[in-house]
Amino acid sequence: MDISDGMISEFNKNAKEAGLANKMTGVKADLLAESVAEELSADEYTNFDLVVVSMALHHFENPELALARLSERLKKGGVLLVLEILAAGGHHGHHGHHHNHHHHDEQHDSAHGKLDFGDAEHTIGSHGFTLEQIQQLYEEADVGLNFQSEVLEHKMAFKIHQKLPKALFLARGQRC
């Protein structure tokens, strides 16, 4: 699900090339729109075992609403998996989870830990999330059961104006 025709076309093309077009289909929808419930109310858009949000949550103006609407599509016990950018300093002082700590190097982050997205800056709702923020989002969206988060060992290099490695995290929770 995406609001971009280009992203949907690319997803469907990749699914077809992988021989999965009969199992995976991208659909155009805006999770934050009032009409999304109507547009995607068919049974085929509910009772999922797994919903994955990969490198997209930072684009939402309202990530709380986006996760709540995705959570509603999961069956009870279904899993929400999020891969996202870790906010600068967002992995210190946590307990109960395994975290790989990285040495902070100022050259890796622009001012205040934000990436400069240039012409795409208007598409960015957040410059990353702390593990506490993502856990709170999961709990508010009713997918906090068995919540786990982990900072990934390797950083992802974003090439915008310069190559900037950013830490990523993976979060997992189940619908209550």
- What's 147's domain CATH number? 3.40.50
The number of domains in the chain is 1
Helices (H), 18-108: 36-39, 63-71
Domain of residue 65 covers: 31-174
Q: Please report, in tens digits, the pLDDT of each residue of the chain (176 residues total).
A: 888 899 999 999 999 999 999 998 998 888 888 877 677 778 888 999 999 999 889 888 899 999 999 999 999 999 999 999 898 776 543 333 333 333 333 333 333 444 444 444 444 545 689 999 999 999 999 999 999 999 998 777 765 555 567 889 999 999 99
Phi-psi region of 122 (alpha: psi -120 to 50; beta: other; left: phi over 0): alpha
For residue 162, tell me if it sits in a domain: yes
Total-model pTM:
0.74
For residue 82, tell me if it sits in a domain: yes
For residue 104, tell me if it sits in a domain: yes
CA dihedral of 128, 134, 137, 143, whole degrees rounded to 10: 140
For residue 98, tell me if it sits in a domain: yes
For residue 102, tell me if it sits in a domain: yes
